[in-house]
Structure 1
Amino acid sequence: MKTIEDSYVAFLDILGFKDLVDKNSHLDLQTIFSNDIMHNINRTKKMMDDVNSELGMPSAIQVLSVSDSIIMWTEGTSPVQFVNIVNAAFSALLFFMQRGAPLRGAISKGPVTVHESENQKNIFGKGITNAYNLENIQQWSGAVIDDICLTEEIVASSEYEILRRKHILVEYLVPFKTGPVEYRHAINWAGLDGRIFYGDYDAIEKQFARHNKSIDDWSVKQKIDHTAAFARFVQSLPKDRVTG
């Protein structure tokens, strides 16, 4: 058992997972899980491992997948670890959207304990519940940064400045189910280095509907509407800053 006193935690949920399970045979579900879910989890983890290897750093992101939830965490809360968790969540959001399994998520922080035995791994702690609670109240495919992550050390760091300058983090009126209407830090999965992904409603709707999922529900339609609005917002950002 290992306790991390302060950790960044990303909690990501696969939208429409129950519908995906109900609308596909178990054999098809096994294929979807292997090709579109585990493939992207492994792809995200490998990408982060490769980046850190090039920088001469140890692997910075731990990942656990349970049913429709993906949990990623760091061992510490330095500016470099903040960049790592943001980039990992960014990659997962993009990769899963491309595979027709849109994600909704949040990054928070707090203590976590990881318990590993020969046959299983469990993780628990306030870092996870903080991220889960923030993830659960959003109404789109996207991810928000908990304000408690944005300490003076983080906001003053060059790492944070790069995330903002390149528009990997943007301030946006994140669509929450309840609560005040306010700008929050969101992860810009929809555009990076001038390349815009899924910038129109039909393309996003198609990804929500893949794998036989139903989209004729008001809750799903609202999520698609809000996701498409975010993608259009990204297209309005100054391209010279995106590529800078």
Structure 2
Amino acid sequence: MTKKQEKTNWKPTDSRFVAFLDILGFKDMVMRKSHEDIYQTLNQISKSKKLVEKAVDLDKVSNVFNDAEVYVVSFSDSIVIFSKNDSLDNLIYFLLATRWVFTGAFKKQIPLKGAIAHGEISLNKTEQIYFGQPIIDSYLMEEDVNYMGVVAHNSIDNYIAKIKEGKDLKRLDKILFEEKTTLKCGNITHTNLNWFKIIKPEGKEEPEIKDIKERINIFKQSSSGTARKYVDNTLTMFEKIENDFIK
């Protein structure tokens, strides 16, 4: 039996990955829904947060990702996910955790958008101190995202380019895709998190194009006007890759 690797402590300051996710239409939700409904929505996200933080305690997860961990902070309509450090294992686990939180919300009809970045971040869980340029980069990038998706800041591209030589990046290719991305400033090529790939019909092992489109279209029932553009833009983004992502 392989000896389980001992977890290291989080360093107060380290190079990390960060995801900044935001609930779409939260202000409108506050005006239209009861306080109890909003509380239940936030509680669903909180449950996802606890699950991704505790998943690494499971042998089948820790044996694959070794010393990888994430830490999740949520406040009001925002969710921020931090990796322990910037090892390749931590990047992959961080991306999977971010995708899991995103799709968990999507399945509960909670629309999110977000961005990810990389760099030096100080994080003190006890004192609740979080600061660093990547947090700002991911926040500003998220503000520009114009569909239900998660877009990578160029610091992520720079990290991947630096580690490319001598590393097996096949796992990353299954989680990320590069495409002309729907941003508020226009359609610009960026790396995106492929969350579409794990949306599957109940009882089935593989995703289906028709099912994914139907699930995205459900959001039209709770949006109109400007807010509905996110639904149309999400369908547009999916249609760009629908012939490639299902093998």
**TM-score per shorter chain, which class?**
0.7 to 0.9
Residue of structure 2 aligned with 1:125, choices 129, 132, 139: 132
* 1:162, distance to aligned residue in structure 2 (A): 2.3
Higher relative contact order (CA 8 A, sep 6+): 1
Q: Over aligned residue pairs, what C-alpha RMSD do you find?
A: 2.5
Q: Does structure 2 conserve the Cα–Cα contact (< 8 Å) formed by 1:188 and 1:234?
A: no
Shift in CA distance, 83/64, structure 1 to aligned 2, threshold 3 Å: same
Aligned to 1:139, what secondary structure does the other structure show? coil
> Structure 1: how far apart are the matches of 2:28 and 2:190?
30
User: How many residues are paired up?
Assistant: 228
> Structure 2: how far apart are the matches of 1:238 and 1:160?
17
Partner of 1:37: 45
* 1:169, distance to aligned residue in structure 2 (A): 0.8
> Structure 1: how far apart are the matches of 2:91 and 2:68?
14
* 1:123, distance to aligned residue in structure 2 (A): 1.2
Counterparts of residues 83-122 of structure 1 (less than 5 Å) = 83-117=92-126, 121-122=128-129
* 1:157, distance to aligned residue in structure 2 (A): 5.7
- Check if 1:149 corresponds to 2:156: yes
Partner of 1:235: 242
Shift in CA distance, 9/159, structure 1 to aligned 2, threshold 3 Å: farther
Aligned to 2:46, what secondary structure does the other structure show? helix
Residue of structure 1 aligned with 2:207, choices 178, 195, 209: 195
- Check if 1:175 corresponds to 2:182: yes
* 1:30, distance to aligned residue in structure 2 (A): 2.2
Shift in CA distance, 143/156, structure 1 to aligned 2, threshold 3 Å: farther
TM-score (norm 2): 0.81
Q: Does structure 1 conserve the Cα–Cα contact (< 8 Å) formed by 2:92 and 2:171?
A: no
Percent sequence identity over aligned pairs: 24
Paired amino acid for 2:193: I
1:13-64 CA-partner distances (Å, limit 9, x unpaired): 1111122222121122222322x22122223334455354233724511111
Paired amino acid for 1:137: D
Stretches of structure 2 that go unaligned for 5 or more consecutive residues are 1-9, 199-204
Paired amino acid for 2:83: T
Q: Does structure 1 conserve the Cα–Cα contact (< 8 Å) formed by 2:151 and 2:191?
A: yes
> Structure 2: how far apart are the matches of 1:100 and 1:43?
19
> Structure 2: how far apart are the matches of 1:208 and 1:15?
13
> Structure 2: how far apart are the matches of 1:208 and 1:38?
25
Shift in CA distance, 56/27, structure 1 to aligned 2, threshold 3 Å: closer
Aligned to 2:140, what secondary structure does the other structure show? helix
Paired amino acid for 1:32: T
Shift in CA distance, 205/44, structure 1 to aligned 2, threshold 3 Å: farther
1:140-180 CA-partner distances (Å, limit 9, x unpaired): 1101112222233333364533221x3x211111111115x
Aligned to 2:188, what secondary structure does the other structure show? coil
**Stretches (4+) displaced over 4 A:** none
Stretches of structure 1 that go unaligned for 5 or more consecutive residues are none
- Check if 1:72 corresponds to 2:99: no
